[in-house]
Structure 1
Amino acid sequence: MLILLLAAPATAQPAPVIYLDQGWSKEDREWYYQVSQGSTALSYDLFLNLEVATGQDLFRSDANSDRYGLITQAANPRNNPDGLPIGLAKTVVTEGRSKGTYVGITCAACHNTQLNFKGKRIRVDGGVGNTFDMMAYVQALDDALQATLADSAKFGRLAGRLKASSPEAKTDLRKRFEREAARVHEYRTRTLASAITWGPARIDAIAMIVNRLTATLTGIPENTSTPLAPTKPPFLWNAPQATWTQWRGVQQDPIQRNLTETMGVFLDVDLQSKSPSEGLFDSNAAISNLQQIENLLTRLAPPQWPEEVFGKIDRKKAEAGKALFISICADCHNAWPYTWTEPNKHGKRFLLVGLVPQSYVGTDKGQFDALRPYAITGQLSDQLPPPLKGEKVIPTDQLYEALQEAVLAKALSKLKLTDAQAADLHGYREFPLPPKPMAVYKAAPRDGVWATPPFLHNGSVPNLYELLLPASERTKKFYVGREFDPVKVGLDTRSGTFLLDTTLRGNSNAGHSFEDGPLGNGVIGPRLSDEQRWAIIEYLKSIPEQAGRVTPFGGPPASPAR
Structure 2
Amino acid sequence: MFTSRPFFASLAALAMTAHVSAAELKYADQGVKWTQASRTEFYSLDQGARIMPFAWIKALRHPDGARFLADGLGRYGYLPNPDSETPGLPVGFLSASENSAQYFSMTCSACHTRQIDVGGVSWRIDGGPALVDFQSLLNDIDLAFKKILSDDAAFKQFAQDVLGGDPTPRELQHLRRDVDVWFAPYDTIVRKSLPSPGWGVGRLDAVSMIFNRVAGLDIGATHSRIIENNITWADAAVRYPFLWNAPIQDFTQWPGFAENGDDILGLARNVGEVYGVFGVYRPKQTILPNVIDYLNDSSLNYPGLMRLETLIKQIAPPKWPWSLDQALVSKGAEIFNRDPKNGGCAKGCHEIAKGAPRVCNFQGTWRTPLEDVGTDSREYQVLAREAETGVLNGARIAFIPGVDKPLKPKDKIISILGLSVIGSIIEAPLHFGLDVFQPILDDCLPAAAQASPESAKLLVRNKLAAALKNLYTKPAAQPSFKYESRVMQGIWAAAPYLHNGSVPTLADLLKPVAERPASFKVGTAYDVESVGLAKEQGAFSTLYTADDCAKRDSGNSRCGHTFGVNLTPDEKKALLEYLKSL
Task: Give the match for residue 152 of structure 1.
Answer: 152
1:81 to 76, 79, 86: 86
- 1: CA distance, partners of 2:328 / 2:134: 39
1:351/1:422 CA distance change after superposition, 3 Å: closer
CA distances 1:103-151 after superposition (whole Å, capped 9, x unpaired): 112101111100012331100000101x211111100111111122223
Task: Give the match for residue 508 of structure 1.
Answer: 557
1:25/1:435 CA distance change after superposition, 3 Å: closer
CA contact (8 A) 2:21 2:117 kept: no
2:314 to 286, 299, 309: 299
1:110/1:139 CA distance change after superposition, 3 Å: same
- Matching of residue 259 in structure 1 with residue 271 in structure 2: yes
- Deviation, 1:394, is 2.1
- Deviation, 1:199, is 0.7
Aligned residue runs from structure 1 range 218-297, under 5 A: 218=219, 219-249=226-256, 250-252=258-260, 253-271=265-283, 280-282=294-296, 283-297=298-312
1:356 to 366, 370, 373: 370
CA contact (8 A) 2:518 2:546 kept: yes
2:395 to 378, 383, 391: 383
CA contact (8 A) 1:355 1:443 kept: yes
- Matching of residue 326 in structure 1 with residue 341 in structure 2: no
Task: Give the match for residue 453 of structure 1.
Answer: 495
Task: Give the match for residue 553 of structure 1.
Answer: none
- 1: CA distance, partners of 2:438 / 2:333: 41
- 1: CA distance, partners of 2:422 / 2:359: 24
Aligned residue runs from structure 1 range 131-146, under 5 A: 131-146=131-146
2:542 to 471, 494, 498: 498
CA contact (8 A) 2:237 2:500 kept: yes
- 2: CA distance, partners of 1:186 / 1:159: 23
- 1: CA distance, partners of 2:285 / 2:359: 39
- Deviation, 1:196, is 5.2
Task: Give the match for residue 540 of structure 1.
Answer: 579
Give the aligned residue type for 2:39.
R
- Deviation, 1:342, is 8.2
- Indicate the SS of the match to 2:274: helix
- 2: CA distance, partners of 1:15 / 1:468: 33
- Deviation, 1:510, is 0.6
1:48 to 58, 66, 74: 58
Give the aligned residue type for 2:544.
L
- Deviation, 1:306, is 0.7
CA distances 1:261-306 after superposition (whole Å, capped 9, x unpaired): 1100110110355668895542111110010010111111100011
- 2: CA distance, partners of 1:502 / 1:20: 30
Task: Give the match for residue 107 of structure 1.
Answer: 108
RMSD of equivalent CA atoms:
2.7
1:184/1:296 CA distance change after superposition, 3 Å: same
Give the aligned residue type for 2:147.
A
Give the aligned residue type for 1:231.
V
Task: Give the match for residue 4 of structure 1.
Answer: none
Task: Give the match for residue 16 of structure 2.
Answer: none
CA distances 1:525-549 after superposition (whole Å, capped 9, x unpaired): 5611211111111111112xxxxxx
2:412 to 395, 398, 406: 395
- 2: CA distance, partners of 1:362 / 1:392: 35
CA contact (8 A) 2:397 2:423 kept: no
- 2: CA distance, partners of 1:216 / 1:392: 17
- Deviation, 1:160, is 2.5
Mark the runs of 5 or more structure 2 residues left unpaired by the alignment: 1-19, 220-225, 339-343, 399-403, 446-462, 476-480
- 1: CA distance, partners of 2:468 / 2:407: 25
CA distances 1:439-492 after superposition (whole Å, capped 9, x unpaired): 531111111110111111111110110111122221111111221111111111
CA contact (8 A) 1:484 1:491 kept: yes
Give the aligned residue type for 2:467.
F
Give the aligned residue type for 1:226.
W
- 2: CA distance, partners of 1:426 / 1:450: 35
TM-score when normalising by structure 1: 0.83
Task: Give the match for residue 202 of structure 2.
Answer: 201
- 1: CA distance, partners of 2:471 / 2:90: 39
Give the aligned residue type for 2:156.
G
1:433/1:377 CA distance change after superposition, 3 Å: closer
- Indicate the SS of the match to 2:521: strand
Give the aligned residue type for 1:83.
G
- Indicate the SS of the match to 2:123: strand
- Matching of residue 472 in structure 1 with residue 514 in structure 2: yes
- Deviation, 1:372, is 5.6
Give the aligned residue type for 2:179.
F
- 1: CA distance, partners of 2:411 / 2:357: 38
CA contact (8 A) 1:92 1:101 kept: yes
- Deviation, 1:171, is 2.4
Give the aligned residue type for 2:362.
K
- Indicate the SS of the match to 1:363: coil
- 2: CA distance, partners of 1:13 / 1:375: 43
- Indicate the SS of the match to 2:259: coil
- Deviation, 1:377, is 2.1
- Matching of residue 71 in structure 1 with residue 79 in structure 2: yes
- Deviation, 1:420, is 6.6
Give the aligned residue type for 2:305.
L
Give the aligned residue type for 1:506.
G
Identity %: 28
CA contact (8 A) 1:230 1:458 kept: yes
1:449/1:278 CA distance change after superposition, 3 Å: closer
- Indicate the SS of the match to 1:354: coil
- Indicate the SS of the match to 1:506: coil
2:566 to 527, 535, 544: 527
Q: Which moved more, 1:502-511 or 1:227-236?
A: 502-511
CA distances 1:478-507 after superposition (whole Å, capped 9, x unpaired): 111221111111111322542212127211
1:487/1:424 CA distance change after superposition, 3 Å: farther
CA contact (8 A) 1:213 1:404 kept: no
TM-score when normalising by structure 2: 0.80
CA contact (8 A) 1:332 1:356 kept: no
User: As a proportion of its length, which structure holds more helix?
Assistant: 2
1:489/1:390 CA distance change after superposition, 3 Å: closer
